[in-house]
Structure 1
Amino acid sequence: MANIQDCPGFEPFGEDVKAARKKRRLSRQKAAEMAGISTVYLINIENNHIIPALPVIIQLIQIFNLPAAKYFNQLTAGEEHDQRQRISRKVMMCPEEHLLVIEGALDGAIESK
């Protein structure tokens, strides 16, 4: 396991996993089972800034539909404005059936420029 300081771009990973898990109303135990890891390992990822092994990262990204590029593209990590990051996280957690509404709102906002 790597520490957060060793992995630029992964600073929000644990928080993103935790937020996505809560959004889906999954217990830590159930989420850990889905990822094939122990509950303690998941707790360390979510709360203690531990970066998991690559197969676990991939599992968590797939399970929670997290934006892989956000974590692996360290050139842009940290450059986004906080509000853009919050919106991006919320869109990633949004149920599929609401994405059309969100896309329409974004299109309207862009066109109104």
Structure 2
Amino acid sequence: MEELLNNFGQTIKDARLATGMTQDALAEQTGITTRYIMAIENENKLPRVKVLFKLIRALKISADTIFYPEIKHTDKKKEHIIHMIQLCDERDLQVVTATVKALLDTK
């Protein structure tokens, strides 16, 4: 548990950098200060649940990335596609399903 807490800031920083987002941009998206982002990433500051929720959503990462870092999340493209699919409504899901089926039928 201690290692998880000690690596939390690095996990957030890695996710932020993977998206190409600056600390300022993340702060703006989450409604917290850049200084607070810096404290989380560099000083092992642990945010409140409400801030954690905002960070996960702004960075578009799975909560598993934070709570289960031992699970290697190596295919970021697939994870991003899954995240986008989860945001789809029923009509969008029908379009996605048809598109994926068409792609697979051409193989």
* Deviation sequence 1:37-86 (CA, Å, 0-9, x none): 000000000111110111100000111133324545xxxx67x4xxxx4x
Q: How many residues align?
A: 81
TM-score, normalised to structure 2's length? 0.59
Give the distance between the partners of 2:13 and 2:46, measured in 1 at CA.
13
Question: Is 1:67 aligned with 2:62?
Answer: yes
Which structure has the bigger radius of gyration?
A: 2
Give the distance between the partners of 2:50 and 2:11, measured in 1 at CA.
17
Amino acid at match of 2:77: C
Q: Which has the higher contact order (CA 8 A, sep 6+)?
A: 1
Task: Name the counterpart of 2:35.
Answer: 40
**Greater helix fraction, Structure 1 or Structure 2:** 2
Task: Name the counterpart of 2:94.
Answer: none
| Residues 11, 65 of structure 2: 8 Å contact kept | no
Give the distance between the partners of 1:31 and 1:17, measured in 2 at CA.
10
**Tell me, which stretches of 5 or more residues in structure 1 are unaligned?**
98-113
Question: Is 1:27 aligned with 2:22?
Answer: yes
**Tell me, which stretches of 5 or more residues in structure 2 are unaligned?**
82-107
**RMSD between aligned residues:** 2.9
